[in-house]
């Protein structure tokens, strides 16, 4: 085993090992557990950083062996994988810090952090998976490891949400499995490969390939929360804030979206998928999801629920981006993978801070929160503006890139979708901001607690501030070479060609 | 070397059965553990030999086939021998801690345990129909005895039911054997296959096959002949349930599969193959549905066995009149399913036993809030459940995958519904247990942690079944030796 | 040499000042630092070498900042106005919500300055958005229901405008395959969808510039803000929309007579309609807001003419800059005056009254004021014989009507102010700020780089006929006002003081 094989394995193992250690630690060993958590997260960030550097230099990392006859287990670090791996490694660290603060003094922490680490290990696996089969392996592992997190509180509501979640995701997984095995039955084991495998296929394969595509997307679409498969997402927001943050930003929805990216780019190939007429349908669904999610978000009075519907809408940007065919549009979609993650995690962190510090859950309770918790509110504001797509924040870069890409390929209607979505985003975020900053506090906060010398616990405060700073930098420094956009352009150059 | 190994494999269990019969529970336990070590080592060594050098025919006592007993030591057989050693060792160890030494009748656990083991080894290695019958009877009788060890009246009732089924099954099987013997004058499977391939009469032979398959299906608890299984497996002590679900039902299935693979070409029919497949499918859904509705934890696991056994019967339609490659895929799927189910189900029963010990009740709802205490056993139960659901990277998934590929390759798409739907249904009943354990509003504040050693054993099994999918390829490559060697002889 | 740091400081200083908001103990420092925030911008406007672009390839989509003549003029206007309003604010503000005010002030300022020095599209749009959204904080600062309502309307229209801009800029940039604003006009001119792009840009910036029918937020929002904020809203930020037009629309590239006609009609509507609506108002600041709409209407006339005629575009652009400079400074003064208290001693009052009225007269074009310079340049540039689009013939008429309307509105303002003005001592900084604004409008104007450009005419050497053309509308309006005053027979007018 050379370093090139070991790095991806180690990246995977860090969180897996952390999970095992945490499960065996007694509940009361809080300090030790935190140390293990943070060490693993830092180590992973380091490993991923090394790989990113290597991939940037043009190196490839990978390891593979045969699992079942005809099917290989493949881990491979390419540029696309590193996009997702980098995102999840960075956000894992922050979410861990946040979760340590968030769960301070609550029961079942050992269980929580164990599954939390498992969840991140699965995400890493999804990122590094080198073929559909391996992808599926981690995809299902993710489903299983997130269930305990969703039902963590153990209330009836949480259990119900957990049930909805598991029904949706396992069914989606089953459909995905069906699609993968159908594909495997007539095409064999397909590693992910830029350009896909089906360039210039004969007419006899077109019909089955199209059907399989629909099945695959349907399976992946459950996690990506494409309408009408999104039902689990708003319910799942009963989970603790760090879990929602992770679910919405990196883990679950992104796994679905990332899978769609892999299928479209590296199994079918952009050209082929388009030639089969599949992408226009996908684009239409994504566009509908974008608008639908935003419209639903408008009428939510619970903060986290509103954010959840916003996720439904935002994740489909990624999918819509893929359907824009040209390199620029594709870059817009891919970069949103990171941007949406950073923005949404900030929003959920902040929502969690409001809930934990002031007991605020509903939007109309937010009046005057900005005065009490200015730093959190600044982070929230930046992220919300990012979501709206206000320059110079990260969301604007997405919109701009996607818009240019859409125009370049003559898909002008996408602009309308972007505009409508931005308007709706403004319509559901700006009133919230108005309440936070410009309304006077009405009633005293019921569960307010003083937590250290800052507005809230430092563990809870820093993660959203860091992500908020990141989303500003991702926008302002978009053209720097190591910005998300810069990296995505590298990917696109390798995947789609100039 | 081989001689020693074979002798060790076949005679240790019998010898130990006798030895433990003479001892009390505690002494029997000590003796058994020694025996377990020997058996595991022997099985491993034999497996290594076959893996290295390929399978062979082993004439027992040096007598050649028509007269003496010839054993078939091929990759598949040694894999199952090894599997048996693992699961039996785990159950034996677990039973040693789990069973109450002060109950008089528990001392009979050990001899029955060893007889069971001996019977299983005979079945895996046997090459003629009568040998197989002997093994089958040995298994059945000791299994019935083990069920009866539960002690209560209910356990006895279940045992009697089980006995009835086992006897009926044996009878049908024996009748088939007699018919074959009458027609071909041979009891050797390969002999019969050879005779058939040279165009002998078929009518009675076909009936014999059906009869034997019926008997074996009854013993395997194929729907709708499964009625005896849930009470028996549910009421038995947990290590016993583990043995029964993991190994005993597989013994009869193994024989059925052997018969079918040797004789399907001349004697099988599309209708028979599809019928078995359909019954298996119904078992998958019915078992899953029943498991979902059971209030008692062990009943859930028992019905899950009914469902999981159903998958095995997909072997029949998928090997009938199909290409070599597909048949191979189906066989690999079947063996993986046998192994992973054995490991997972044993883990599940053992951990269920631990959980019941912890909360003091056998009801699913009694698990409310136990995940709060992070019980190790719940974790093992969960991991085993992952395998039952057929999620990667477990062995259950690998099996499902191969079944899927085989179904697709033969165009029998309807099995896809079974495979995918069955997985979801098993997820439903497994998650029912998880869900119960996460309920927070119960106010249990005490939780009895069973001894670590009791908890480690199911964990090891669960991890094995989990990891099986990752190492399916090497395991299957050893198993594949059977088909290279065994067929056409 | 010094270009880069100055340009960077222009934006970064206001942004960096946000640090002062971190602790409540620093809010006093913050308050006194408000006037200093635009200082680098003033220095930059006066000293930076023009057309010397500062390239920042890592910024957004690739950043380019710098100044040309147009931007220089706008930068000076904006920074001077913000500086004087800043001085005024020091005296005007009380301690309630002081920190919030300072934060939004600094953010809006950085946006306003930044968009002027941006030469690339992404920076421009970013600063534009920062200014738009931060200004909301200034609008609703008082927290009254009225302010909140105005804020809502402002925000809704601003967001809609942003979206129109996004679409228009996207299409233009995609066609230009460049993010440089300097490339856009040519690209728009070539595009087969130039009509749509122009429409989107006109509408998008028109919201900010108070284009008729997109102006609804303006009379609501400008008056409710704290007075210094009103001054910059009406004086400087409204010009950001104008600047947007000037830097993106295809002036000199493509003659678009249809657009010329449309804009002239809109401009006339704004110039006269705005004044008409303003006459019905009773609150001084609202009247001023309508006056802004009216003045922007006049500027829109020039924009329309420039759209229709490629050869005149360059001249018109510099006149527009001049007019904007004049209007911004004068309007700033007027807004600030609404919060000035009259001295209790009667003998100083008349000086103050005169000073308050002076910028108003300047707006109307009183000779020897900046208004005269601007008005005259406009008349010069809009002589109908230079144009061939159908509405060109009506330009002088509209301009004259506009001048009368302007003066009427000023009288109305003075009347309204006289009814609401209080007496008392002014805070030192308030007086200082107001005096500074006045000085800039009346004196410094003549020395600013933008003022001298244009046609090279020496503006304070007027021939009698030229003077007459400026004075008669003032006289006419005064006559109407007096007639109206006598007809109403009301007491409590301006002359009371």
Rounded Cα–Cα distance for residues C265 and C262 (Å): 5
Q: CB–CB of A287/A267 below 8 Å? A: no
Domain ranges of chain B: 269-489
* Most A-contacting residue of B386, B389, B391, B466 (CB-CB within 10 A), to test interface: B391
What is the share, in percent, of chain A residues with pLDDT greater than 70?
98
10-residue mean pLDDT profile of chain B (489 residues): values are 81 90 88 92 90 80 64 87 94 90 86 93 88 92 90 88 93 92 83 78 80 93 90 90 93 92 84 93 94 92 94 92 88 92 94 88 84 79 90 89 91 90 92 85 68 88 90 83 43
Q: CB–CB of A297/A430 below 8 Å? A: no
Q: Do A391 and C60 touch (CB under 8 A)?
A: yes
**Phi/psi of residue A189, nearest 5 degrees:** -80, 120
**Phi/psi of residue C55, nearest 5 degrees:** -95, 130
Q: Do C126 and A396 touch (CB under 8 A)?
A: yes
pLDDT of residue B149: 86
Structure tokens at C312: 């005149």
pLDDT in tens, C424-481: 788 888 889 888 988 888 888 887 776 654 444 555 556 777 778 888 888 898 899 8
Nearest by CB to C61, which of A390, A426, A478?
Answer: A478
Rounded Cα–Cα distance for residues C232 and C221 (Å): 12
Q: CB–CB of A346/A380 below 8 Å? A: yes
Q: Do A107 and B372 touch (CB under 8 A)?
A: yes
Determine the distance in angstroms separating the CA of B328 from the nearest CA of chain A, rounded to an integer.
11
Contacts of A437 in chain C (CB under 8 A): 100, 137
**Strand ranges (E), C52-181:** 54-56, 63-65
* Structural domain includes residue A496: yes
* Residue A126, pLDDT above cutoff 50: yes
C-alpha torsion angle, residues A458, A463, A465, A467 (rounded to 10) = 180
- Tell which residue, A41, A52, A45, has the closest CA to residue A19: A41
The predicted model gives C194-207 an average pLDDT of 92
- Tell which residue, C134, C212, C126, C207, has the closest CA to residue C169: C126
**Phi/psi of residue A179, nearest 5 degrees:** -60, -45
Q: CB–CB of C44/C6 below 8 Å? A: yes
Q: Do B408 and A185 touch (CB under 8 A)?
A: yes
- Tell which residue, A255, A266, A262, A263, has the closest CA to residue A223: A255
pLDDT in tens, C298-310: 999 999 999 888 8
pLDDT of residue B474: 84
pLDDT in tens, C254-292: 888 888 899 999 999 999 999 999 998 889 999 999 999
Question: Which chains are adjacent to chain B, needing at least 3 Cβ pairs under 8 Å?
Answer: A
- Tell which residue, A297, A300, A321, A298, has the closest CA to residue A310: A297
Q: Do C148 and A437 touch (CB under 8 A)?
A: no
Contacts of A68 in chain B (CB under 8 A): 336, 398, 401-402, 469, 472-473, 476
Could you give the 3-state DSSP secondary structure of residue A383?
Answer: helix
Could you give the 3-state DSSP secondary structure of residue A496?
Answer: coil
Q: Do C58 and A477 touch (CB under 8 A)?
A: yes
Determine the distance in angstroms separating the CA of A118 from the nearest CA of chain B, rounded to an integer.
13
* Structural domain includes residue A258: no
**Maximum Cα–Cα distance across chain B:** 72
How many Cβ atoms are within 10 Å of A355's Cβ, its own excluded?
A: 18
Q: Do A154 and B473 touch (CB under 8 A)?
A: no
Q: CB–CB of C102/C31 below 8 Å? A: yes
What is the chain B residue with the closest CA to A166?
Answer: B431
Determine if residue A394 is left, alpha or beta; phi over 0 gives left, psi from -120 to 50 gives alpha, anything else beta: alpha
pLDDT of residue C88: 93
pLDDT of residue C265: 92
The predicted model gives A411-419 an average pLDDT of 92
Nearest by CB to A415, which of C123, C140, C167?
Answer: C167
Could you give the 3-state DSSP secondary structure of residue A172?
Answer: helix
Q: CB–CB of A350/A320 below 8 Å? A: no
The predicted model gives A66-92 an average pLDDT of 88
How many helices (DSSP H) and strands (DSSP E) are in chain A? 20, 2
C-alpha torsion angle, residues B96, B101, B103, B104 (rounded to 10) = 90
Q: Do A479 and C140 touch (CB under 8 A)?
A: no
pLDDT in tens, B283-322: 999 999 999 999 999 999 999 999 999 999 999 999 988 8
Rounded Cα–Cα distance for residues A71 and A356 (Å): 47
Determine the distance in angstroms separating the CA of A313 from the nearest CA of chain C, rounded to an integer.
18
Asked if the C-beta of C173 comes within 8 angstroms of chain A's C-beta atoms, the answer is: yes
* Structural domain includes residue A287: no
Domain span at residue A465? 299-498
* Most B-contacting residue of A63, A67, A156 (CB-CB within 10 A), to test interface: A67
Domain span at residue C477? 3-496
Nearest by CB to A478, which of C60, C159, C162?
Answer: C60
Question: Which chains are adjacent to chain C, needing at least 3 Cβ pairs under 8 Å?
Answer: A
Reduce the secondary structure of C464-489 to three states and give it as a string: HHHHHHHHHHHHHHHHHHHHHHHHHC
pTM of the model as a whole: 0.91
Rounded Cα–Cα distance for residues A116 and C151 (Å): 44
pLDDT of residue B62: 62
Interchain contact C/A (3 or more Cβ pairs less than 8 Å): yes
* Structural domain includes residue A95: no
pLDDT of residue B441: 61
pLDDT of residue A432: 93
Rounded Cα–Cα distance for residues A493 and C50 (Å): 38
pLDDT in tens, B134-148: 999 999 999 999 998
Q: CB–CB of B205/B179 below 8 Å? A: yes
Interface residue ranges in chain A relative to chain B, Cβ cutoff 8 Å: 23, 27, 65-71, 73, 107-108, 110-111, 133, 136-137, 140-141, 143-144, 147-148, 151-156, 158-159, 162-163, 166, 170-171, 173-175, 177-178, 181-182, 184-185
Q: What is the ipTM of this complex?
A: 0.91
Rounded Cα–Cα distance for residues A256 and B145 (Å): 52
Asked if the C-beta of C125 comes within 8 angstroms of chain A's C-beta atoms, the answer is: yes
pLDDT-based confidence at residue A27 (cuts at 50, 70, 90): confident
Rounded Cα–Cα distance for residues C198 and C204 (Å): 10
Question: Which chains are adjacent to chain A, needing at least 3 Cβ pairs under 8 Å?
Answer: B, C
pLDDT-based confidence at residue C497 (cuts at 50, 70, 90): very low
- Tell which residue, C317, C340, C292, C273, has the closest CA to residue C91: C340
What is the chain C residue with the closest CA to A396?
Answer: C126
The predicted model gives C371-377 an average pLDDT of 85
Determine if residue B282 is left, alpha or beta; phi over 0 gives left, psi from -120 to 50 gives alpha, anything else beta: alpha
Q: CB–CB of C230/C142 below 8 Å? A: no
CA A449 to chain centroid: 31
Contacts of B427 in chain A (CB under 8 A): 166, 170
pLDDT-based confidence at residue A316 (cuts at 50, 70, 90): very high
Determine the distance in angstroms separating the CA of C31 from the nearest CA of chain A, rounded to an integer.
19
* Residue C494, pLDDT above cutoff 50: no
Asked if the C-beta of C137 comes within 8 angstroms of chain A's C-beta atoms, the answer is: yes
What is the chain B residue with the closest CA to A138?
Answer: B392
- Residue whose pair of structure tokens reads 């005064």 in the numeric block: C478
* Structural domain includes residue A303: yes
* Count of domains observed in chain A: 1
């Amino acid at each position: 085993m050379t370093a090139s094989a070991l790095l991806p394995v180690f990246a995977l193992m860090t969180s897996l090992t952390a999970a095992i250690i945490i499960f065996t630690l007694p509940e009361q060993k809080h300090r030790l557990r935190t140390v293990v958590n943070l060490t693993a997260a830092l180590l992973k960030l380091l490993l991923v950083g090394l790989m990113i550097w290597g991939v940037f230099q043009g190196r490839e990392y990978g390891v593979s062996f045969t699992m079942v006859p005809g099917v290989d287990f493949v881990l491979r670090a390419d540029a696309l994988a590193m996009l997702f791996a980098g995102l999840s490694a960075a956000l894992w660290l922050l979410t861990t810090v946040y979760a340590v603060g968030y769960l301070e003094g609550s029961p079942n922490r050992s269980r929580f952090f164990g599954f939390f680490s498992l969840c991140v290990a699965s995400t890493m696996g999804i990122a590094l998976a080198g073929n559909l089969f391996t992808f599926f392996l981690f995809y299902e592992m993710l489903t299983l490891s997130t269930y305990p997190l969703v039902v963590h509180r153990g209330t009836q509501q949480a259990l119900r949400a957990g049930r909805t979640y598991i029904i949706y995701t396992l069914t989606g997984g089953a459909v995905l499995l069906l699609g993968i095995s159908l594909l495997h039955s007539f095409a064999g084991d397909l590693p992910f490969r830029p350009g896909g495998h089906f360039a210039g296929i004969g007419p006899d394969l077109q019909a089955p390939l199209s059907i399989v595509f629909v099945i695959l997307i349907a399976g992946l679409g459950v996690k990506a929360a494409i309408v009408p498969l999104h039902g689990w997402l708003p319910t799942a927001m009963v989970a603790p804030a760090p879990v929602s943050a992770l679910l919405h930003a990196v883990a679950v929805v992104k796994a679905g979206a990332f899978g769609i990216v892999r299928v479209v780019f590296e199994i079918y190939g952009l050209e082929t998928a388009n030639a089969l007429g599949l992408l226009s349908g996908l684009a239409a669904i994504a566009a509908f999801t974008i608008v639908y999610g935003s419209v639903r978000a408008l009428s939510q009075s619970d903060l986290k629920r509103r954010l959840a519907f916003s996720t439904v809408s935002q994740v489909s940007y990624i999918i819509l981006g893929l359907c824009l065919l040209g390199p620029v549009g594709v870059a817009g979609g891919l970069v949103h993978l990171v941007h949406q993650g950073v923005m949404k995690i900030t929003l959920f962190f902040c929502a969690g801070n409001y809930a934990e510090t002031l007991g605020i859950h509903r939007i109309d309770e937010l009046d005057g929160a900005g005065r009490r918790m200015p730093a959190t509110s600044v982070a929230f504001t930046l992220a919300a503006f990012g979501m709206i797509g206000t320059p110079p924040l990260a969301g604007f870069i997405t919109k701009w890139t996607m818009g240019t890409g859409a125009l370049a390929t003559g898909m002008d209607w996408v602009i309308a979708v972007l505009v409508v979505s931005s308007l709706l985003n403004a319509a559901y975020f700006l009133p919230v901001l108005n309440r936070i900053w410009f309304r006077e506090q009405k009633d005293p906060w019921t569960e307010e607690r003083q937590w250290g010398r800052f507005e809230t616990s430092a563990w809870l405060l820093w993660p959203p501030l860091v992500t908020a700073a990141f989303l500003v930098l991702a926008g302002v420094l978009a053209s720097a070479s190591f910005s998300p956009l810069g990296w995505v352009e590298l990917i696109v150059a390798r995947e789609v060609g100039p | 070397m081989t001689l020693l190994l074979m002798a060790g494999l076949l005679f240790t269990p019998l010898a130990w059965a006798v030895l433990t019969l003479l001892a009390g529970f505690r002494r029997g336990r000590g003796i058994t553990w020694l025996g377990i070590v020997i058996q595991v080592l022997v099985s491993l060594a034999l497996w290594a030999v076959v893996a290295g050098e390929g399978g062979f025919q082993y004439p027992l006592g040096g007598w050649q086939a028509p007269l003496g007993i010839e054993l078939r030591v091929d990759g598949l057989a040694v894999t199952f021998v090894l599997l048996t050693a693992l699961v039996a060792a785990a159950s034996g160890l677990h039973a040693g801690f789990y069973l109450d030494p002060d109950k008089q009748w528990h001392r009979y656990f050990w001899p029955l345990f060893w007889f069971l083991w001996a019977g299983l080894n005979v079945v895996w290695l046997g090459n003629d129909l009568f040998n197989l019958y002997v093994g089958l009877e040995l298994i059945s009788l000791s299994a019935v005895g083990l069920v009866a060890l539960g002690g209560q009246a209910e356990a006895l009732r279940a045992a009697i039911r089980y006995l009835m089924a086992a006897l009926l099954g044996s009878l049908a099987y024996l009748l088939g054997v007699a018919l074959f013997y009458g027609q071909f004058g041979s009891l050797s499977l390969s002999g019969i296959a050879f005779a058939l391939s040279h165009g002998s009469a078929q009518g009675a032979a076909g009936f014999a096959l059906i009869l034997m398959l019926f008997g074996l299906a009854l013993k395997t608890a194929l729907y709708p002949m499964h009625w005896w299984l849930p009470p028996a497996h549910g009421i038995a002590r947990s290590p016993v349930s583990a043995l029964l679900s993991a190994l005993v039902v597989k013994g009869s299935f193994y024989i059925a599969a052997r018969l079918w693979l040797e004789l399907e070409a001349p004697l099988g029919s599309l209708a028979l193959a599809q019928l078995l497949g359909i019954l298996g499918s119904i078992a998958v859904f019915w078992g899953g549905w029943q498991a979902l509705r059971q209030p008692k934890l062990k009943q859930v696991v028992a019905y899950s066995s009914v469902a999981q056994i159903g998958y095995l019967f997909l072997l029949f339609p998928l090997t009938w009149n199909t290409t070599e490659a597909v048949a191979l895929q189906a066989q690999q799927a079947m063996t993986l399913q046998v192994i992973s189910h054995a490991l997972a189900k044993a883990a599940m029963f053992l951990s269920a036993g631990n959980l019941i010990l912890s909360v003091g009740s056998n009801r699913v709802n009694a698990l409310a809030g136990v995940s709060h205490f992070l019980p190790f056993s719940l974790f093992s139960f969960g991991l085993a459940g992952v395998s039952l659901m057929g999620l990667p990277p477990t062995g259950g998934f690998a099996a499902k995958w191969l079944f899927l590929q085989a179904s697709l390759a033969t165009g029998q798409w309807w099995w896809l519904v079974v495979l995918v739907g069955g997985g979801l249904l098993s997820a439903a009943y497994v998650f029912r247990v998880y869900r119960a354990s996460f309920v927070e509003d119960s106010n249990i504040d005490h939780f009895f942690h069973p001894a670590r050693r009791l908890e480690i054993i199911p964990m090891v099994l669960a991890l094995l079944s989990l990891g099986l999918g990752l190492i399916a390829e090497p395991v299957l490559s050893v198993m594949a030796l059977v088909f290279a060697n065994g067929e056409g002889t | 040499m010094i270009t880069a740091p100055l340009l960077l400081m222009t934006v970064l200083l206001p942004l960096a000042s946000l640090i002062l908001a971190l602790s409540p103990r620093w809010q006093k420092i913050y308050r006194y630092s408000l006037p200093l925030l635009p200082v680098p911008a003033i220095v930059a406007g006066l000293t930076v070498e023009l057309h010397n672009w500062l390239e920042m390839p890592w910024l957004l989509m690739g950043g380019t900042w710098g100044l040309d003549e147009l931007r220089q003029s706008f930068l000076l206007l904006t920074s001077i106005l913000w500086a004087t309003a800043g001085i005024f604010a020091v005296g005007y503000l009380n301690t309630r919500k002081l920190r919030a005010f300072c934060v939004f002030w600094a953010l809006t300022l950085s946006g306003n300055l930044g968009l002027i020095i941006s030469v690339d599209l992404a920076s421009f749009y970013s600063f534009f958005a920062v200014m738009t959204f931060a200004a909301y904080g200034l609008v609703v600062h008082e927290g009254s229901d009225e302010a909140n309502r105005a804020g809502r309307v402002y925000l809704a229209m601003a967001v809609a405008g942003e979206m129109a801009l996004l679409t228009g800029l996207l299409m233009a940039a995609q066609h230009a395959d460049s993010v440089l604003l300097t490339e856009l006009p040519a690209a728009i001119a070539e595009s087969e969808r130039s009509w749509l792009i122009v429409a989107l840009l006109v509408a998008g910036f028109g919201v900010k510039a108070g284009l008729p029918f997109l102006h609804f937020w303006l009379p609501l929002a400008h008056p409710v803000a704290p007075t210094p904020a009103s001054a910059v809203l009406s004086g400087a930020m409204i010009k950001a929309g104008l600047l947007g037009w000037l830097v993106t629309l295809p002036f000199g590239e493509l003659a678009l007579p249809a657009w010329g006609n449309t804009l002239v009609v809109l401009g006339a509507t704004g110039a006269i309609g705005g004044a008409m609506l303003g006459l019905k108002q009773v609150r001084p600041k609202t009247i001023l807001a309508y006056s802004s709409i009216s003045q922007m209407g006049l500027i829109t006339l020039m924009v329309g003419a420039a759209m229709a005629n490629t050869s005149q575009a360059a001249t018109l652009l510099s006149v527009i800059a001049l007019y904007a400079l004049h209007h911004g400074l004068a309007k700033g003064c007027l807004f600030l005056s609404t919060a000035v208290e009259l001295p209790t001693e009667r003998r100083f009052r008349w000086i103050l009254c005169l000073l308050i009225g002076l910028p108003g007269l300047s707006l109307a074009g009183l000779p020897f004021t900046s208004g005269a310079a601007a008005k005259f340049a406009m008349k010069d540039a809009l002589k109908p014989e230079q144009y061939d689009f159908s509405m060109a013939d009506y330009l002088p008429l509209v301009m004259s009507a506009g001048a009368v309307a302007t003066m009427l509105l000023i009288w109305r303002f003075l009347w309204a102010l006289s009814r609401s003005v209080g007496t008392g001592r002014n805070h030192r900084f308030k007086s200082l700020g107001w005096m500074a604004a006045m000085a800039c409008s009346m004196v410094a104007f003549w020395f600013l780089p933008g003022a001298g450009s244009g046609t090279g005419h020496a503006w304070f050497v007027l021939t009698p006929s030229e003077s007459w053309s400026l004075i008669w509308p003032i006289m006419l309006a005064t006559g109407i006002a007096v007639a109206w005053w006598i007809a109403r027979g009301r007491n409590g007018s301006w002359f009371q003081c």
